[in-house]
Structure 1
Amino acid sequence: MGEILSAYLMPHPPIIIPEVGKGEQRKAQSTIEALETCARHIKDNKPHTVVLITPHGPMFRDAIAVMATPHLTGNFARFGAPGVKMSFENDVELAKAIMDHAERLNIPCIGIDNSVASDYRISTSMDWGALVPLYFVTKQYSDFKLVHITYAPLSYEALYAFGKAIQEAVRACAKDVCVIASGDLSHRLSQDGPYGFHPMGPKLDKEIMAIIESGDVERFFNMAPVMVEEGGECGLRSIIIAMGTLDGYDLHPRVLSYEGPFGVGYGVAIFERGKPDATRLFVERLFERKHQRMQRIRQNEDPYVRLARRSLESYIRTGKIIKSDDNLPREMLENRAGVFVSIKKDGQLRGCIGTIEPTRKNIAEEIIYNAISAGVHDPRFIPVDENELEELVYSVDVLKKPEPVKSIDELDAKRYGVIVRSGHKSGLLLPDLEGVDTPQQQIEIALRKAGIRPNESYTIERFEVERHK
């Protein structure tokens, strides 16, 4: 019977590859030495296959991508080192088994063969999230097949369950496997980092490394969404999948290093598999807690949010548009205003549509029609499916009258939303959005939404909202 032998957290900055860094890699010497330790550990385990989870392959919003081509190849040409190449035989049997077991758990996957890659206009070449860890592994051990997986921004619970599907597929195929969770941590550790500094960056990395060191998997599911969003990580979901591959076993984590020399956090760790432990069977427990959490959200909806949810649910299930209820608060039936309805799924935006000025006879109707539009007509997303309805979280913003401003100094990203206009083009951004901290960011995003170039002449308006969530 095959087993997950061990799992590893391995970061992926191309600069630590000597042919790319050209000396700069020495600034991350602790990370390099820790990765070499992981490689020796994998060599000692001698796995038949390495399963690698990356954030930088072909990512789909609603399905985990599993490479299905017979061979997996890549190089560092985009980083100035085309001569550094790698090629692996894809363990197609295990890849298919992983997708089959995931399907049984209702976790969507897509196999990326040449035909699918052509249809979606994506590359089958390996990304740097895979190449960097494998560069170090192959220096020590290369007698393995590879399974290349790109996670999707699904719920943490679904990602953990996908890890469990990997475990079950490994057993079914009777192959010994090591799992690599490829991922950097916060990209916001210093002002000269990729995304500047944010105080949540160091806090996020401290929390992630503390959870890893403790082996307390359930703490991942209690992390503050704002900290994760504003901390700017890319490795958390890879880690959660890797933890799922060891579900039901005693866990022996070992942190090898942590540093952030280029404004990005690099954590390296080994997760040793211990003995079977029934108290660490988390999948069902996690989904039950998620269900209870959604029930609490539903119980605490106010009339604005409840109406938005009921409107979309009715339309998706019956095709009918509900009518406003006479029992709604008077201000919803007697007042008119622009309204935005936002829908999230697993903390990720699933749709957002609104009106700057009122277009219906009252706020209630504005909510009804905008909720339906947010769910089925937002061009950024495929329409909401009926099986998603129980997982959606709604918020409703009732806009107050916009007022013109002469200077960006009159804005406040937390208090005011912004509207930019140039001729027939206009763009709106709501206030107090995660990851939007300054008026300058608001203006830049609103201009992009409107298709207005920064050097064009445009006007700015500000507005406040009454937010219901």
Structure 2
Amino acid sequence: MGKILGYYVMPHPPIIIPEIGKGEEYKAEKTIRALEKAADEIKELKPEIIIIITPHGPLFRDAISISNVPSIKGDFRRFGAPHVKLNMNISMHLTENIIRHADEMNISVVPLGKNSVREYDVLCELDHGAAVPLYYINKVYRDFQIVHIVYGLLHKIDLYRFGMAIKRAVEEDDFSVVLIASGDLSHRLRDEGPYEYNPRGEEFDREIIKLLERVDTKGIFNMNKDLIEDAGECGMRSFYIMLGAMEGYFVKGQTLSYEGPFGVGYGVLRFEVQKEAEERQFLEDLKAIRQRELEERRKNEDVYVRLARESLEHYINEGEYLKIPDYIPASMLKEKRAVFVSLKKDGELRGCIGTIYPITDNVAEEIIRNAVEAGVNDPRFYPVGRDELVDIDYSVDVLMPPVKTSKEDLNPKRYGVIVRKGNRAGVLLPDLEGVDTVDEQISIALKKAGISEDEEYEIERFEVVRHS
């Protein structure tokens, strides 16, 4: 019977590769020393296979991807060091067993192979989220194969269940395995970091490290969603899978290092299997958490959000548009306004459709129409499925009439923008994450309209009343 000998959380900043950092890497010396220590421990464990879960390979919204080829290559050309290369052999046997167990549990997995470019327009290669940890392990230990997994944007419970599928596949065979959850913590610890500073980044890092050390699965799944989103992390989904792969074990966690030298939190943690336990029934507890989250969201909905949600749910379940419910106040039936409806799933945009000017008789009808359009007809996404409805968060922006303006009078936090050239127009809502300057706002709107920046165009601005 196979066994997972140990688990590790490892960050993946390319700058800690000496050929890339060129001296700057020692600003993250604690992280480097901890990764070297972890590599030495893995050498002592002598695993035949290392399973590595990474955020930075081919990322699917509706599936987990797993490399299903005999070997996989990667280098650091994107970071100025194309001569630093890795070539890893993949355990095809364990990979295929994981795929089979995931399929039996109705978890979507995309096997990537030689035809992945033609089939999915992605390369099957070793990404830096896997390559950085493996670089340090390879310095002291090479007698192993890997399983290369890129998490998908699935619900956290499905990611946990995928971790359970990994554990079942390992135990079915005689392999000895180490599992690495690759992921950085907050990317918002400083203004000079990759994202704008947010004081909640430090709060997130303290909280997640404390919970990981205790292997507090319920605590991690109960973490505040706004805190996670404000932190700008990339490791949580790796952690959800790792926790699922711990199901049935008593595990002790320990932090080997933590620091945030470049505005990004780097945590290196080890998890030692103490003993096997009776099967822990966390999955049922996690499903209960999901149900409580849903009930809490619905309890706090205002009438605009409730109407958007019920509109999409009714259309997907019944195949027809919702009739205006009795609870809609008279003000929404008398007022004509343009409306945008935005959908998010696990913090990621899942659809957004709206109108610049009202095209129906009232705000209520505008919401009903655009909620369905956002869920079913946004060309950037496949239609929302029935099983996804429980995980969708809604926001409704009611637009005030636009007015002509100039670039100097814009403010991306307060005003949305419309750019026009002839019959081409692009619109962008205000106060969007990652849009912090007027230049960014106009550039995105121009691209949406198909207008080049050197053309003459008109600018309008508008305010919104946001319901979320």
Same fold, TM exceeding 0.5?
yes
In the alignment, the residues of structure 2 paired with residue 411 and residue 23 of structure 1 have an alpha-carbon distance, to the nearest angstrom, of 40
In the alignment, the residues of structure 2 paired with residue 43 and residue 228 of structure 1 have an alpha-carbon distance, to the nearest angstrom, of 34
Instruction: Give per-residue Cα distances to partners, 1:234-278, cap 9 Å, x unaligned.
Output: 222212222221123222111111122233222111111222345
User: 1:228 is matched with which residue?
Assistant: 228
User: 1:168 is matched with which residue?
Assistant: 168
User: 1:79 is matched with which residue?
Assistant: 79
Matches within 5 A, 1:200-239: 200-239=200-239
In the alignment, the residues of structure 1 paired with residue 188 and residue 299 of structure 2 have an alpha-carbon distance, to the nearest angstrom, of 36
The structural deviation recorded for 1:166 is 1.0
One-letter amino acid matched to 2:112: I
The structural deviation recorded for 1:298 is 3.1
Matches within 5 A, 1:301-450: 301-325=301-325, 328-406=328-406, 408=408, 411=411, 413=413, 415-437=414-436, 441-450=440-449
> Does the 8 Å CA contact 2:412/2:435 hold for their aligned counterparts?
no
Unaligned stretches of 5+ residues in structure 2: none
SS at match of 1:34: helix
Instruction: Give per-residue Cα distances to partners, 1:113-161, cap 9 Å, x unaligned.
Output: 1123332222122111111111111122211111000011222222222
In the alignment, the residues of structure 1 paired with residue 209 and residue 324 of structure 2 have an alpha-carbon distance, to the nearest angstrom, of 50
Matches within 5 A, 1:211-290: 211-278=211-278, 280-290=280-290
Instruction: Give per-residue Cα distances to partners, 1:376-420, cap 9 Å, x unaligned.
Output: 11011001122222332322222222234445456361x443333
The structural deviation recorded for 1:325 is 3.9
The structural deviation recorded for 1:439 is 5.1
Matches within 5 A, 1:142-181: 142-181=142-181
Matches within 5 A, 1:97-112: 97-112=97-112
Instruction: Give per-residue Cα distances to partners, 1:335-356, cap 9 Å, x unaligned.
Output: 2110111122223221111111
Shift in CA distance, 408/245, structure 1 to aligned 2, threshold 3 Å: farther
The structural deviation recorded for 1:171 is 1.0
One-letter amino acid matched to 1:162: F
> Does the 8 Å CA contact 1:346/1:391 hold for their aligned counterparts?
yes
Shift in CA distance, 201/445, structure 1 to aligned 2, threshold 3 Å: farther
SS at match of 1:161: helix
> Does the 8 Å CA contact 2:116/2:123 hold for their aligned counterparts?
no
Shift in CA distance, 212/23, structure 1 to aligned 2, threshold 3 Å: same
Aligned residues: 468
User: 2:140 is matched with which residue?
Assistant: 140
One-letter amino acid matched to 2:427: L
Shift in CA distance, 407/90, structure 1 to aligned 2, threshold 3 Å: closer
In the alignment, the residues of structure 2 paired with residue 142 and residue 281 of structure 1 have an alpha-carbon distance, to the nearest angstrom, of 36
The more displaced of 237-246 and 279-288 is 279-288
TM-score of the aligned structures, taking structure 1 as reference length: 0.92
In the alignment, the residues of structure 1 paired with residue 293 and residue 193 of structure 2 have an alpha-carbon distance, to the nearest angstrom, of 36
> Does the 8 Å CA contact 1:230/1:435 hold for their aligned counterparts?
no
The structural deviation recorded for 1:300 is 4.3
In the alignment, the residues of structure 1 paired with residue 223 and residue 244 of structure 2 have an alpha-carbon distance, to the nearest angstrom, of 17
Matches within 5 A, 1:38-117: 38-117=38-117
The structural deviation recorded for 1:314 is 2.9
The structural deviation recorded for 1:65 is 0.3
> Does the 8 Å CA contact 1:250/1:280 hold for their aligned counterparts?
no
> Does the 8 Å CA contact 2:116/2:124 hold for their aligned counterparts?
no
SS at match of 2:384: coil
SS at match of 2:324: coil
Q: Report the RMSD for the aligned CA atoms in angstroms.
A: 2.4
> Does the 8 Å CA contact 1:217/1:243 hold for their aligned counterparts?
yes
One-letter amino acid matched to 1:182: S
SS at match of 1:62: coil
In the alignment, the residues of structure 2 paired with residue 207 and residue 446 of structure 1 have an alpha-carbon distance, to the nearest angstrom, of 38
Shift in CA distance, 346/79, structure 1 to aligned 2, threshold 3 Å: closer
Unaligned stretches of 5+ residues in structure 1: none
> Does the 8 Å CA contact 1:258/1:265 hold for their aligned counterparts?
yes
Shift in CA distance, 175/434, structure 1 to aligned 2, threshold 3 Å: same
In the alignment, the residues of structure 1 paired with residue 290 and residue 102 of structure 2 have an alpha-carbon distance, to the nearest angstrom, of 19
In the alignment, the residues of structure 1 paired with residue 211 and residue 9 of structure 2 have an alpha-carbon distance, to the nearest angstrom, of 13
In the alignment, the residues of structure 2 paired with residue 91 and residue 349 of structure 1 have an alpha-carbon distance, to the nearest angstrom, of 35
> Does the 8 Å CA contact 2:417/2:460 hold for their aligned counterparts?
yes
Shift in CA distance, 325/223, structure 1 to aligned 2, threshold 3 Å: closer
Shift in CA distance, 322/260, structure 1 to aligned 2, threshold 3 Å: closer
The more displaced of 141-150 and 212-221 is 212-221
Q: Percent identity?
A: 51
The structural deviation recorded for 1:101 is 2.0
User: 1:125 is matched with which residue?
Assistant: 125
The structural deviation recorded for 1:283 is 1.9
In the alignment, the residues of structure 2 paired with residue 295 and residue 101 of structure 1 have an alpha-carbon distance, to the nearest angstrom, of 31
The structural deviation recorded for 1:33 is 1.0
Alignment pair present for 1:26 and 2:34: no
Shift in CA distance, 155/51, structure 1 to aligned 2, threshold 3 Å: same
